[in-house]
Amino acid sequence: MTEKEKCAAGLLYDANYDKELINERIACKDLCLEYNQLKNSDSENRNALIKKIIGKAKDHICIEPSFWCDYGYNIETGENFYANHNLTILDCAKVKFGDNVFIGPNCSFYTAGHPLDAKQRNEGLEYARPITVGDSVWLGGNVVVLPGVSIGNNAVIGAGSVVTKDVPENSVAVGNPCKVIKNID
């Protein structure tokens, strides 16, 4: 089993020393750098390049620079997706966004995690868990979403939150760790 296959299966895998994964990250980051250097007025090339980076993107997608991801092919965006400046997606596993998702500036989505065991961690091993964000979700600025989290439809995540557990649909959640503070009627 390759390291990429181990990752996809949710097993510990070697992301730091595996040539295939390293080369894929380098290629993706080169595309991200190119995207980040395009003028905002160059919407045709920006749209074409972001769709080259993102694995599956609907027609109406806007990601303000700067944008960084690991592989790109594990990211899926729905229709009417908007992300403000400084979006980071560590997409070692799938990261799926529904329709009408709005992301504030300086937000991060981390599918990668590392073992608690120092020996395994020092060997460069990690694991990846998918992240799912439903339809009509709004994430305020400086939100961090950790591996394996699902955020339900119509949820609002307050600025500065660290989302460590699933957030149900139709709720407002805030804090570190992020907790539901009210339901949306």
Domain of residue 79, CATH code: 2.160.10.10
Q: How confident is the model at residue 173 (pLDDT cuts 50, 70, 90)?
A: very high
Mean pLDDT of the chain: 96
pTM, to two decimals: 0.96
Contact 181, 172 (CB under 8 A): yes
pLDDT tens digits, one per residue of 91-144: 999 999 999 999 999 999 999 999 999 999 999 899 999 999 999 999 999 999
The residue written with tokens 């139709």 in the block is: 170
Q: Which domain holds residue 106?
A: 3-183
Please determine, for residue 164, whether its predicted confidence score (pLDDT) is greater than 90: yes
User: Is pLDDT larger for residue 129 or for residue 59?
Assistant: 129
In one-letter notation, the amino acid at residue 28 is C
Please determine, for residue 72, whether its predicted confidence score (pLDDT) is greater than 90: yes
Q: How many domains does the chain have?
A: 1
As a whole number, mean pLDDT of residues 152-166 equals: 98
Please determine, for residue 185, whether its predicted confidence score (pLDDT) is greater than 90: no
Helices and strands (H and E) in the chain: how many: 4, 20
Please determine, for residue 163, whether its predicted confidence score (pLDDT) is greater than 90: yes
Q: What is the pLDDT of residue 59?
A: 86
Within a 10 A sphere around the Cβ of 161, how many other Cβ atoms? 24
Please determine, for residue 169, whether its predicted confidence score (pLDDT) is greater than 90: yes
Q: How confident is the model at residue 146 (pLDDT cuts 50, 70, 90)?
A: very high
Please determine, for residue 5, whether its predicted confidence score (pLDDT) is greater than 90: yes
List residues with catalytic annotation: 114
